[in-house]
Structure formats: structure tokens, C-alpha cells
Amino acid sequence: MTAPPVARRSWIDVAGLAGRPLSVRVLTATVAAAALILAVLGALLPVDRPADRPLTPLAGAALAAAVVAAGQLARLRFRLGRGVVSVSWGEAAFIIGFVVAPPGWLPAVTLAGAVAAWALLAWWESLRNVAEVVHLAASLSLGAAGAAVVAGAIAGGAPVLGARMVTALVAGALTYLVLTFGLATLTLALHRDAPAAQILVRASYAKVPMVVGNVIVGLAAVVALVENPLWLLAFPPALWLLQRTYRFHLRAEEERRLWEAFAAATATLPGGTEIEVVEAGLRAALDVFGARRVEIEVRGRDGERRYAQDGPGQDNAVAGLPGPAITRSMAVDGDLVGELTVWLSEPTLPVPRDESAISAFGDALAGALHDAAARERVAELSGQVAYETRHDRLTGLLDRPTLLAEGDQLLRSFDRRRHVALLLLDINDFREVNGTLGHRHGDELLRLVADRLTELTRDGEMLARTGDDEFALLVPRVVPLIDSSAPADVPLSDSMPLALRRARELVEELGRPMEVSSVRLAVEVAAGVTVAPAGRADVAELVRRASLALQEAKRQEVTVAAFDAGQDAVTTDGLALLAELKEALAADDQIVLHLQPAVDLITAAPTGVEALVRWQHPRRGRLSPDEFIAKVEHTELHTAFTRRVLDLALDAAGRWHAAGVDVPVSVNVPARSLLDPSFPAQVRDALRRHHAPASRLVLEITESVAVSEERIVDDVLAELRGAGVQLSLDDFGTGYSSLAIVTRAPVDEIKIDRSFVDDMIESPAAGAVVRGAVELGARLGVRVVAEGVETTEQRAALIELGCPTAQGYHFCRPMPADRIVQSLTQLSEAAPANIRPLRADDAS
């Protein structure tokens, strides 16, 4: 049987330098070399002993070495960061040694005494760190060398008990303190055991009181040696009392610091996740206990987890873990949370205060970990509940309410003109699967279908289970399956074919065989498809339309069918429109006017303003009259709506008249208004409310209404003219009998339809219609306004034909009411002074 190989250790491991920072290694080597050199040089100096020295050089050197060793053996230690600082009787040993031994020998004597003392301590406490012993002994030797130089320079040949010698001894002791204290501080700072400021403050607090006693004891011992050595017999009790006093002082300060740090650390334990609590606990334990290493083992429902952190400046993987380890179980109300293990840097057995503090810290950490676990469990349950309330439990897909709610949010984030599609897919004859294989296997089939659909779903699309065997796919980008890089804004004429193609591709993929309970099945799927602009329908309406298309696919026994608006005369938007219009009339900011001036063709001076009504819908955006006027005309809201439009128009006209622009406002009159005998009274009431003359208002009517056979129309028009309100014939040339209208219902203005203005440059026929309308207006003495003028060529052609007034984008686009006054004022001021706008009075 072969013996296991013995691991070979490097000289760095043997010397105890493993795991120590490079800067500390360099400092150790430098201090040791300097101490050795000074010890050798000092020993070679000539011995010049004054006659009053109490002992011979060799006896004095032996006594000095013994005193140095005794002073180090009686050291007191306190924890500083992750290091341990020793305070000893070194100053007293120096004072005695300077008197009894040759000063030049003190570095060597101190080095020998310190090495002997620390070697004995290392053996007694089972420590094998040679580097620390050498570093400490060399630091004391350097302190003694510096102190001997200072004291020797001051004392000269002064007698032992003279004032000059006392001064020299005190100065030497202080020099010894500064040098040894400075080297210790530098070592700890390089070792990163604690911040430099903390080292200076705490070490000074511990060391200064002992230095005073050391100096007094040293001087007293020198007096006893010179006067009567028997007096030294009284020193042990006094030294014992001083030692106890120093120990109590350090112990009280250490405990105060420990519990202050403990309170600060436990108060900052976070109320977050387990990782956050553990990380904070590791940092706090390292700081509070000055530990070399801290380990936390957490036991939870999902097993055990171990966390650890080493103190800075220590490579524990190389140097091992010297020092005692304290392990404490962490529990809350008898429930085990984990274990806390702290490796202390103090190379002695744990003292009760450390055990008590670590136990208390473990209790606080256990409470924080228990709370973190409880919070994580609550968050997990809350997330599970939130997930289950949004998802179908069987398939994990979104459920119907979530699709409707989140789908509407998605649609509102799009441009309202962007086309979206909704595909509704249903498994044909699903009941036969349940009846043949059982509901459990039917559920398995649904999960397989859901998984396959999930694989086919693209980014941004929403997939949901909306029924027993029904699935919905909201497609925000209507593009082919094989071309996901295609643009999202596809024209309406192309959207439906692309959506149908996508549906057929999905149906084909779902039709591939799948295995359910060892039975290979190939299901048939039908799909209904609808496409609409994002601003025209909500998801509920899209689902309803797709459902109608799905029914049609099943009726025709085809796989895919598209929604046909002809099959559905009423939509949810239509049903909701009246209720939403009531809310709009109750609000102040939904029914608005956009105003477009009509101008003199030559001077561009304003001659009138047309009021164009808009509905600022909160969900669907701005709606034009074509999208809601027809609904309004056939409901009881007609009167309130007309009143609102007249109020808005006359209010706007009042503002520009107040600004000095004297032009009327034109308002389109719905067909139902001319069939309402009370309409003239409504107009007169509106004029009275706004203190406006009747000439300020122009009512635009269409030819088809004006030539109606209804007698009431003639009466309403006559009453309006009798009240002084101007009438305008809108869209002239497109109605039933344009010439008959001007004789049956005299008007003040004719507006040539924009279709003729658009074509007049290239179409002689359209140009003839425009010329005829201009000539007719001139002969009848009414204003003529050409609508839809957009180019300079159209303006020039109209001027050539003698048309006096025009309206269109070429001059001014429709604008909100709060901007019209400025535009009218600018047009008026820019027009030549000798040209004035046409009015109804000027046409007679």
C-alpha cells in the first residue's frame, strides 16, 4: 500500500507570508533588514559606561532583554478592524534598558527579548506565523534604536537621577512610542484591516493612557535600582493593579465599539430579497467582528444555499483560516433559518462577549432572512395570482378579458390609420375528440394546439384562448409569415389578402399530425379574419367581426373566411357612438370647429369663413363629419348638436369682428334642420345669445335638400331669408337640378364644387361648368366661391374666368378657432386698401 504523497510547502508558506498583500511583505522584509543592521551596528559601538550605572554591561543587557520579554508577555490586545493590536510595557522596558545596558546594545537586546517573548507566545498559542513574529520584533527593535539615539543625544553624560536624564528618558520613551505606533499603523493600513483614520483614533485611545503609566513605572524602577533595589519588591502588586486597570479600559472600549457597530449593522439590514439581506449580513459581520471570513448558510423550501465573503487584505484560499470560528444556528419561532459562521482574527479562544454578540447578530439576521423569505413567498403568490387572473389555466395563454383590455391598450399606441388584423381559429368537431378520448385527452390536445400556435406567434402579437376550443391572434403587423421584415403600414387593399394568407398558413401548420395519448391525430381548424384601422374599432369589436367570419367559414365549409361589412350593418362603434356623442356634448373640448377663410382671388383679402365641425374623440382621435353627422341627423341629439355648432361659429365670428375683420361665418346645415319648423327660431335664438346681426351668419345648404318636394323646406328657407340670414348653395353643380334651385330658393352665394376646380385645367368640360357658374352668379347678383383651390395655376384660371372668390389650401388651411383671428387680420392687412370684401349687400 503506497503512502499518500506529502504536499510540499514553499518558503512563503513556511514563513507565514502566504495570503498577505505584497506591500505588507515588502514592509516586513524592510523592517527586519533595518532592525538586523542596526542591531549589529549598535553592538559594535564602544561601550562607555558612566560610573553611576547600577549594573555591568552584560548584566544590564540581560536584565534589559528580560524586561523587554516580560513587557511583551504582559501585553494587552484589542481588535482593530480585521487585525489585532497589542499594547505592551515597551516604553517602561526601554527606560530601564537605557539605564542598565549600553545604549548601543538596545536594538539587539530589544530584538532578542521580543523574539524570545513572541516565540514563547507562538508556541503557547499554537501559532506558526514566523513573519508576524519577525515583523513585530523588528519593529520594536527599530523603535528602541530610535529612542536610544534621541535619549543619548539629550542625556549625554548626565547622572541617572538628574533632571536631564529624566528628560532624556521621557523623550526616548515618546520616540519609542511614535516609531512603534507608526509602524503598526502603517502595517494595518497596508493590510487593509481598517481605514487609516480609524486606526489612528482607536489605537491612540487605547495606547496613550498606558504610555503614561509605562513612563512612570520605568522611571520609578530606575530610581529603585539606583537607590535601593529592595524597593522593586513593591512593584508586582502595583503592576498587577495597573495591568488590571489597562485591561478593564480596553475591554470596556472594545465592548462599547462592538455593540455600537452591532446596533448600526442590524439597523441597516435591508428589507429586500434573500440575496440583498445575505450580502448586507456578510458585510456587517466582517465590519462588526473584524472577521477574517463569514459564511451564511440559508435553509429554505428549495434546499440549502451557502454564501461566504472574506475580509479584505487576506487571501484565505492561500493562508487558510487562522483564528477561532464561532458557528450559531439561526432560527425564528423554532423554525431553522440557517447557520452563521464567523472566523475571528483574534488568535485565542472565543470570549463570551464575542459569542453573545455573534448569537445576537445571528438572531437579527435570522429575522431579516425570515422576513425576506416571507416577502418572496408573498410576491410569488401575488405573481401567481396575477398570472392566473390574466391567463388561461389550461394552456397558459392570455384569457379573453386580458386580450380585450391589453389589446385595446396596444391599439391605442398605434397610429389610428394603421391596419391591424384579428384571426379567430376554432377546432372543428372538437366534441368528437372529447367524446372519443375523454376530456383529459381533449385538454391535452388543446395544450398541444396552444403550444404550436405559440411557436408560430411573432413578436408583438397577442395570442389568447377565447373559448373552449377557440383561439384569437391579434396581429399588429399585417405581413406575410415568410417576410417579417415587410413594412407594418400596408395599404387597406393589401391588408386583407395578407391577413387571409397568414390565417391559411396557421391553419396549415395546425393541421399537421400530432400525438395525443398515443393516438396520432390531425385536427381541422377553421379561421375567421377581420382587418380594420387601429382607430376604428376596439378588440371586442374585432373579435365579434372575426366570429361572424368564422361562422361564415363553417357555414360554407371552408377553412378561412373574411369579415364582410355587408353581413353586419351594426358595429359596436356604431352602437356606442350615440352614447359617446352625448358625453361629447356634455364636455367642453370634444366638439370643435376648424375654420377656413374664403378670400378675394386677386387681393387675397378675406371675404368669409367656413366653419368645419370636428369631433375630438378621446379614443378614436379626430373624426370628420362624414363619420358621425349621419348618425346625429337621425337621433334626438340633432337639435343639441346644431345648437352647439351655431354657438361655436358665432362665438368665433364675434372674436374676429371685435378685431376689426368684418366677414361672415358659414355653417353647414344638415338636411334634417331644413325639415324642422323650429330651426329658424333656433337660429334667431343663437344670434340673440351672441348679440350678432343676422348678416354675420351664412347657412350652407346642399342642392339635394333645397330642391326637396317637402313644402316645409320652402317655408324654413323663406323664414331664414326673412330673418336676414344669408344662404349659400354648397357643392353647386353636383346636385339634381342646379338651375331650378336658384329660382326656387334664392341664395346669396354659390360654391362651385371642388371636383370641377380640380379638373378645370385639363378638362374643358369642367372648365365650362366653372365658367357657367361664374356667369350665372354674376347675372343673378350672388357671390361665387370656388372650393378646393390648391395651386397657382387654378387661381390664375379662375381669375381669367372672372371668378371673384375662392377657398382652399392654396390660401389657407383649416385651423383651430384660437388661430383664425390672427390669420384673418394678416390677410386683411396684406390686401390693397382700395379693395374691399364682397358682401351680400354689394350684389344687389
Q: How far apart are CA 45 and CA 418, in angstroms?
A: 101
Query: What is the three-class DSSP state of 785?
Result: strand
Tell me if residue 787 is catalytic. yes
CB 562 within 8 A of CB 500: yes
* Angle separating helix axes 638-658 and 679-689, nearest 10 degrees: 40
Write out the three cell numbers for 244. Answer: 488590571
Which residues contact residue 28 at a Cβ distance below 8 angstroms, ignoring those fewer than 6 apart?
A: 17, 20, 131, 134, 135, 138
Q: How far apart are CA 327 and CA 341, in angstroms?
A: 4
640: left (phi over 0), alpha (psi -120 to 50) or beta: alpha
Residue with cell 482593530: 80
**What burial class does residue 46 get, using C-beta atoms within 10 Å of its C-beta: 0-12 exposed, 13-18 middle, 19+ buried?**
exposed
CB 761 within 8 A of CB 793: yes
How many other CB atoms are there within 10 angstroms of residue 251's CB atom? 14
Q: Strand 783-787 to strand 805-807: parallel, antiparallel, or no bridges (unpaired)? A: parallel
Q: How far apart are CA 309 and CA 295, in angstroms?
A: 7
Tell me which DSSP letter residue 232 carries: G
Cα dist from 322 to 184, 339, 349, whole Å: 20, 20, 12
* Angle separating helix axes 439-456 and 430-437, nearest 10 degrees: 140
Give the residues across from 593 on adjacent strands: 613
Q: Give the closest residue to 648 by CA, choosing from 608, 598, 589.
A: 589
Q: What residue ranges in 38-170 does DSSP mark as E strands?
A: 76-80, 83-87
Tell me which DSSP letter residue 398 carries: B
Q: How far apart are CA 782 and CA 729, in angstroms?
A: 10
Q: Which of 787, 790, 800, 829 is catalytic?
A: 787
> Cα angle vertex 618, ends 614, 620, to 5°?
75
Q: How far apart are CA 772 and CA 801, in angstroms?
A: 9
Cα dist from 432 to 442, 474, 520, 524, 810, whole Å: 9, 28, 15, 12, 68
Residue positions annotated with a catalytic role: 787
